[in-house]
Structure 1
């Protein structure tokens, strides 16, 4: 086909899942520079081959199939599309966004549907995960707006939930109910208001906020049950789509304990919950009064950021926010589109903080400052000590995204009111499940008001099967971090020594290292993410095309994953990104667990392919 790039053997994978042959993969192969550009420009030779994509940017085939089924039942396949969400609340926020962004469209054209377990199904025997999904049907021409909501907020359903609900819809155990039935169903919930939230499991025992169980517990915060699933039963339940609610609840508790730093054992459930260590190592959240109750799970990291912003507005009123440092693209979009505005400080340097302090002194007030520690993709670290001092003096919250640094390397909670993270990344490592978390600092002046908001607003929307995968993937999290740190430094050393490389971005060698070190744990490293820019675009392309790693979006994988990040994330705003130091030649590397010498050889080989410019 004319115009196709010449493919080297390891680059003949355009559109395949990463990891290969993984139905719920989080990444997709874009193995050449031209493939990334072609993807951004919508060229068919790439787009038509894509088996998957990063879930907030690509609608998984299982989700699309269920959406079409819903439209076929309640709309027009020629005129309508559907967006799918875990709850009616999420769907309602999508509808509101569609109305706000399209004021000339009558609100009556949007239809919100809720699908719930069929009322007559038996609840005898072990409690099982029950299918639930909500849908917004909207005119096809409003797809860009609906897609923006899906991408920016992370509110959409996962592909595993879509498969689960598709099967339930086909066998009649999932049915659509009207708003009047929904009101009747809500009266079945008993107890304090904080527990009156529909869950995607049998609500007879697991109505609690933040995954807490009602009724008698076994000391671990889960309802006691006999015969927890072993590995064989896990396989039967996984492929039979007959998931144990008890087992899913145990998995969620284990994830939350792991995030809290009080669970470090690599053993099966439920035994690992009994063997949990509480603050026994320097890798725990060393903040007095902090507990697993301060950890909240979300379907993905961006949803944790969106919900943190939303909770702060509900608790403190709608004020503009601050985005400090060059951000991952959707964080800035959330602050721009779902609130009264944002002050953007894209350099994230001392001059930016000086300017912010001057505005604060002049009387400007803000809701919160959002930052990453360190930033993606420039790996610059914000001065959290100074930011904390400004926040205390001028009354704004600090929200820190610790995804890149991760809590085994850095300890940012003392400087933050809220810490968010994408569990999709290194916490999971296997690149086959999405997840996110938000934790509250119990010493924050906003702690009580946020807890009150979350008691009413929080919905546990992480699908139970996703939780089971996430828990299993994260058991060896501690061991993996040390190896990733070591490998990343080895790759950094190679790149820094090559004359074609203009700049290597890594916390250890950045001018902001002192800010990183101020939060680094005694045994913490500098993380597995780095990036490099080249003196010429040609060199960047040659290097990337000859690099024998997996190549696609996402990061934090157990295998090394590379991407021309600025091309992929900012293709339509390259000049804007460049002014903040994000050069179009930038290649980002998420370093994995490979044998160190073999990894060094891969990078040396790709660098050797760059033509010599001497003479």
Structure 2
């Protein structure tokens, strides 16, 4: 009987299909992925969206075009940010990268609600504002580099909402307002408040507030009524889930009445949601961790240990004094680090993933923590792949970061990031003061509401993807044409993973496979009946030729660190296990044929 292909999604279609704010995009064949990287028109012309930091959403681009048309000049483009502080960082990046441009050529335009037109509950609470960096269009690559690496850019939902206000003349150039009606918010030292401007929120640290009664409503341009209090409470619920003190799969009103510490998944004394900070995306959390670490300790090189997600390394290399890169994540590299430290070399922080992406190797956090305590550097752990239901890395890190876009959300329709400070870390007081001074909440209101709704059942979803991933690993490991399966359970670094594994934790939903030949890899991928595109942690199984997609311009460099160009990465979803077995068996059969 012929195998029925259920997941044919056209090149360039959103994933999930017909989803306006989708996080992923369909690249269903090996050739399509290469065509995307090569800039081939047959792929690019069909792209309805892309991964948000690599592809500027069309809603954002339309808004940027209108801003330039009204406030800029011919030959200019704009990159949009949620605050003046974020735009100023982009401007500083421009000044470093292209110092010959003057302030007339690269400048910040601040758009804020005009006082008379903005007297509504809606705008007072959501506080929409945009800071646009306007620059000569020939330097788009510089602006795009900052956008991609930093994660500081606006979300597509914010763009749609604010574009509507801009079109109606409600969002205007700050420079055109009288002094009495001006405001421009940045970090706290610039009279900052959170992006949701509620007095009861901003009077307390880290955007905390008591839950409010859902008595007020706002008519959104999307045709829905939205309870204003959900904006505040959604963020509080998300932060409690990340803190491990809210684990029940219940609606928002009930969630906020539950006892906070009924069941704690992060076993660190005194840890609470007050030490959890939300960011527009996971990379922005990493970017902020590096920037604020330099604020506290000065301009020191950092260490990246283990083969990392591409932009983590780029941040360390481009936004500081340099990087000591240990791409294998081996014990021998820790030996080398220890020798450097013993000889007097000093570092700002060690950045690592637990486990790494895409090789799923786990670092020896216990040894790293010991070195950090002895030689005084921060430990920053990205727990996105492991996730805190499976592993508890907080005792070993000073700062824990995570992408909430992935399995925490699952629905592939909203971006988010989190950063956690360890209250028992030796540097906690210094770091906490810095975050209290520097942090601004730029996670857009509607994004927060989607994130809260999506994450209510994240624990049960993680348990299911754990089981499904192990099942798929068993199928792949039994096939003679598979060269290697990368999964924490079957890695030689499993002891390091198990040391951090929670009592009921599994090994995650992400795995990767390599093949003896490129032809086998292509045959497997093209015949694998899953949706295919960037991202991971989705509720549906999502596959990609990850190294081609993430590192196309540096394949030889990847190979030097043991990362095969023909690797296929699979983020296992919630489908029935028996169905997944048939899907992967069919793809393996295609290799034999």
Coarse TM-score class (shorter-chain normalised): over 0.9
* 1:132-159 deviation line (CA, Å, top 9, x unaligned): 1110000011111100000000000000
Q: Which range moves more in the overlay, 290-299 or 106-115? A: 106-115
Matches within 5 A, 1:24-63: 24-63=21-60
Matched, 1:265 2:248: yes
> Per-residue deviation at 1:266?
1.8
Distance 1:183 1:566 in 2: 53
Matched, 1:97 2:96: no
Specify which of 376, 380, 398 is matched with residue 399 of structure 1. Answer: 380
* 1:395-439 deviation line (CA, Å, top 9, x unaligned): 000000000000000000000000000000000000000000000
1:152–1:210 CA distance, 2 compared to 1 (3 A):
farther
The CA RMSD over aligned residues, in Å, is 2.2
Specify which of 469, 477, 499 is matched with residue 458 of structure 2. Answer: 477
1:156–1:507 CA distance, 2 compared to 1 (3 A):
same
Specify which of 244, 248, 253 is matched with residue 231 of structure 2. Answer: 248
Matches within 5 A, 1:178-189: 178=175, 185-186=182-183
8 A contact 1:319–1:365 mirrored in 2: yes
Distance 2:240 2:179 in 1: 34
Other-structure match for 2:210: 222
Matched, 1:278 2:261: yes
Distance 1:178 1:494 in 2: 63
What secondary structure does 2:591 align onto? coil
What secondary structure does 2:352 align onto? strand
Matched, 1:543 2:539: no
8 A contact 1:381–1:512 mirrored in 2: yes
Distance 1:480 1:260 in 2: 18
Matches within 5 A, 1:107-506: 107-121=103-117, 123=119, 128-178=125-175, 185-186=182-183, 196-208=191-203, 211-213=206-208, 221-222=209-210, 224-227=212-215, 237=220, 239-240=222-223, 243-281=226-264, 284-506=265-487
> Per-residue deviation at 1:592?
0.3
Other-structure match for 1:218: none
8 A contact 2:6–2:529 mirrored in 1: no
Q: Which range moves more in the overlay, 570-579 or 375-384? A: 570-579
Matched, 1:596 2:593: no
1:226–1:526 CA distance, 2 compared to 1 (3 A):
closer
Matched, 1:68 2:65: yes
> Per-residue deviation at 1:276?
4.2
> Per-residue deviation at 1:333?
0.2
8 A contact 2:207–2:441 mirrored in 1: no
1:198–1:179 CA distance, 2 compared to 1 (3 A):
farther
> Per-residue deviation at 1:454?
1.4
Other-structure match for 1:520: 501
Distance 1:414 1:16 in 2: 42
> Per-residue deviation at 1:200?
3.2
Distance 1:279 1:392 in 2: 32
1:316–1:122 CA distance, 2 compared to 1 (3 A):
same
Q: Which range moves more in the overlay, 575-584 or 25-34? A: 575-584
Specify which of 526, 530, 533 is matched with residue 552 of structure 1. Answer: 533
8 A contact 2:8–2:531 mirrored in 1: no
> Per-residue deviation at 1:123?
4.5
> Per-residue deviation at 1:11?
4.3
1:348–1:181 CA distance, 2 compared to 1 (3 A):
farther
Specify which of 1, 23, 26 is matched with residue 20 of structure 2. Answer: 23
Q: Which range moves more in the overlay, 67-76 or 193-202? A: 193-202
Distance 1:34 1:482 in 2: 34
> Per-residue deviation at 1:246?
2.2
1:228–1:250 CA distance, 2 compared to 1 (3 A):
farther
> Per-residue deviation at 1:264?
1.4
Distance 1:332 1:106 in 2: 29
1:287–1:74 CA distance, 2 compared to 1 (3 A):
same
8 A contact 1:547–1:603 mirrored in 2: yes
Distance 1:377 1:125 in 2: 46
1:320–1:581 CA distance, 2 compared to 1 (3 A):
same
Distance 2:588 2:304 in 1: 36
1:188–1:566 CA distance, 2 compared to 1 (3 A):
closer
Unaligned runs of 5+ in 1: 1-7, 214-220
What secondary structure does 1:59 align onto? coil
Provide the TM-score with structure 1 as the length reference: 0.92
8 A contact 1:186–1:196 mirrored in 2: no
What secondary structure does 2:251 align onto? coil
Specify which of 539, 548, 563 is matched with residue 567 of structure 1. Answer: 548
Q: Which range moves more in the overlay, 110-119 or 44-53? A: 110-119
What secondary structure does 2:373 align onto? helix
8 A contact 2:111–2:174 mirrored in 1: yes
> Per-residue deviation at 1:302?
0.1
1:591–1:315 CA distance, 2 compared to 1 (3 A):
same
Provide the TM-score with structure 2 as the length reference: 0.95
1:209–1:381 CA distance, 2 compared to 1 (3 A):
farther
1:122–1:30 CA distance, 2 compared to 1 (3 A):
closer
Distance 2:109 2:574 in 1: 45
